Structure 1
Amino acid sequence: MDKDHRQISIRLNGKKHNYEESAEPEAAAANEEDELLSLPEPEKKTSKIIDFGKRLHERKKNDQPFWDDGNREQGPKLPLKRKKKRRTTIGLSLKSLPMSMIIAVVSAVIIGISFGFMVLTVFTSDRIEPTTAPSMETNEPLGTPVITEGEVTIPALTVDIVQGGAFSTADKGEVGVANLQRSGYAAVISKANEPVLLFIGVGNNREEAAAVADLYKENGQEVYLKSLTIPTVQMPATETSSATFLAEGGELFHELITLSVNSLNSSSPTEKQLTAIEQKHVQWKEKQQQFVSDFSELSEPASAFASSLSSAVEQLKQPNSNQQFWQVQQSLLDGLLIYQELIQKAQSNG
């Protein structure tokens, strides 16, 4: 290699450049300067490229907000109006309930109301509206029999009773009767029902029975008021119509009760009232013999019923007093039980 023309190889940016040394240093320097000025600029390092579309896709995929670059189509939007969720309420309807539960609830209500009325009727004596005795469907006056072809219908007899108690046996009831009668009160026991009931007063309606009950309350006696109805009865019609004896006896019985209760207010029966009741009693007694003749099987209770009413009429003639009142009540209570027995026998024979 010639010393005057030495070559130098330089590699820049992967490119090889050859340089020769010139004998003339100045010329070589000039040439080198020219070469240096003509060298290509080094390549700039490439920076990382950000793909905003890709990022937008990823952020939308991840439900993340995207910055607003001015493109409103791709920019963030206001959230859509969401409908308010309706409150869910849990409601019950009859259709959703089982039939067995509905029947049980209705039955419980009916039983509760019935029991309430029963307790009100049996265990209360004050503030109860008076009740009147029912009449026949044909609106016949009380005590007037309904006569049809071959049959006589005797109207029902309804009264209100002052009840003094109930006993498991008749023997215990008799002890209660004896104690009350010994104290001057009226008392009988009804064996028609179980338990045995103690009756200590009678009125045509609730108001009259309450007036009698007040006398017991003043002396500390616990009492109850209840209605008692002796039902209608159909009896064979006879040529003498003797069956009307029972109907007229029931009417007389009601009138005697009224006179008895009125005497509590120190209003003794007037002469006119006593005369009227006595005449009616005599006329009724005249039919007794014919009735016993036509219905011999009823002769015993019919005679006993007539005797109890006769006793009440006689006692009303006595001077008004507390003793006289209870004697009349005793005769009427006796007559009530006998009349009940008489109707029961008439029904069984019919």
Structure 2
Amino acid sequence: MKEQKPITVLINGKATAFKEVQKEKESPTKEIAAAVYTEETTGWEIIDSEGSGKILDFKKVVSTVPRPSALRKKWSKRRMVLMDRNRNTSLFSKKFITAVIAAILTGCTFGGIILMLFTGETASTQSETAAAQQASASSKAQAPATIPSISMDFHAAQNGLFSTKKKAEEISKDMKDQGYAASVYKQGANYSVLIGLGNKKEEARALADVYKFKGVEVWPKQLDASYTDLKIPHKMDEPFIVNGKILLQNVITLSQVPTLSKKAKDSIMKDYEGWKAYGDKQHEQWPAKQEKAVRNYEKDISRALTRLTANRPGEVDWPLQQAVLDSFVSYTKLLEVLK
């Protein structure tokens, strides 16, 4: 046996040593070849095979797989499309949008046909149904309704509580003659002479302190002016009544602010104009007593807003406080009418 020749083979970059055994009659190996099968049609090419002891490096060679002519043409077209960089592949291309619209129209048409076949309804029938539902909703809005509750908690500066309306009116007139604000408000079986009003205790107390400083007798008092089960001729009148309360509460608070910004003035006037516009449109459908009560409140709150948005003196604006008290009394009389 002859001497073994070492051979190092590099496959995919990894070196492996081999020894070749030769018999006496065998000739020395001149070439080494390798074949590797992959999913692609590939071959391996020997870069260097001469001389013993040298590193053999194999290079992968990918060859084209023969295909039938039809498949070759199809593959060729596909490659051309993929290589076309100017092709519009946007999700919202014209062709895509057109296809979507066509699908929607087709679906709607087909759905309408199926609906007609199984229910006998047409588009006109559906329109008539919708119109009937709208008319029903409108009739419900115009139907009589009940306001469960209008809750009003105020804090007042009170000059006195009297058992007769005549005595209360005499005291109220005397206060006005002195240049102050005063209104008569019925509380149960008695009559109260109110000379100041606030949404909060602090607001009423501030007015009471002014009266005390001027030597006028005053007693702070909490007023519960809540009403329940109010009857209204139309359901849509409820927001009008509720917004009337909110408008009054805002006027009461702002009446104690020395100076209002333009934004605050514009905001409250916008609220008032929207509230009044509904009353102007609806008043002909109200009973005479309700219409009269609404008009009285509208007159008083309008007078309060006129004073509120005008340039006011730095001290207490007594005409404004009078308009606020009158607005409170006229609003409670409106609620009394709805009982």
TM-score of the aligned structures, taking structure 1 as reference length: 0.52
1:316 aligns with 2:294: no
Among candidates 310, 314, 325, match of residue 333 of structure 1: 325
Match of 2:31 in 1: none
Match of 1:159 in 2: 154
Match of 1:37 in 2: none
Q: How far has the Cα of 1:205 moved from its partner?
A: 1.2
CA deviations on 1:44-93 (whole Å, 9 max, x unpaired) are xxxxxxxxxxxxxxxxxxxxxxxxxxxxxxxxxxxxxxxxxxxxxxxxxx
Aligned residues: percent identity? 26
Q: How far has the Cα of 1:313 moved from its partner?
A: 0.5
Among candidates 176, 181, 185, match of residue 181 of structure 1: 176
CA RMSD of aligned residues (A): 2.4
Match of 2:14 in 1: none
**How many residues align structurally?**
196
2-structure distance, mates of 1:176, 1:235: 32
2:312 is aligned with what amino acid? N
Runs of at least 4 residues off by over 6 Å: 237-240
Match of 1:300 in 2: 292
What are the ranges of 5 or more consecutive residues in structure 2 without an aligned counterpart? 1-143
What are the ranges of 5 or more consecutive residues in structure 1 without an aligned counterpart? 1-148
Quick check: which has more Rg, 1 or 2? 1
Match of 2:280 in 1: 289
Match of 1:206 in 2: 201
Answer 1 or 2: which has greater strand percent.
Answer: 2
| Contact in 1 for aligned 2:151/2:227 (Cα 8 Å) | yes
Aligned partner of residue 269 in structure 1, secondary structure: coil
Match of 2:261 in 1: 270
When residues 245 and 187 of structure 1 are mapped into structure 2, their CA distance, relative to the original with a 3 A threshold, is same
When residues 335 and 167 of structure 1 are mapped into structure 2, their CA distance, relative to the original with a 3 A threshold, is same
Match of 1:231 in 2: 226
CA deviations on 1:2-61 (whole Å, 9 max, x unpaired) are xxxxxxxxxxxxxxxxxxxxxxxxxxxxxxxxxxxxxxxxxxxxxxxxxxxxxxxxxxxx
Q: How far has the Cα of 1:237 moved from its partner?
A: 6.9
Aligned partner of residue 190 in structure 1, secondary structure: strand
Q: How far has the Cα of 1:325 moved from its partner?
A: 1.8
1-structure distance, mates of 2:233, 2:199: 31
1-structure distance, mates of 2:179, 2:171: 13
2-structure distance, mates of 1:335, 1:196: 17
1:260 aligns with 2:258: no
2-structure distance, mates of 1:202, 1:229: 13
Q: How far has the Cα of 1:233 moved from its partner?
A: 3.4
2:296 is aligned with what amino acid? A
CA deviations on 1:231-272 (whole Å, 9 max, x unpaired) are 243456776712321100100111111111122xxxx11111
Aligned partner of residue 202 in structure 1, secondary structure: strand
2:290 is aligned with what amino acid? L
2-structure distance, mates of 1:281, 1:344: 22
Q: How far has the Cα of 1:163 moved from its partner?
A: 0.3
Match of 1:343 in 2: 335
Match of 1:172 in 2: 167
1-structure distance, mates of 2:176, 2:185: 16
1:271 is aligned with what amino acid? K
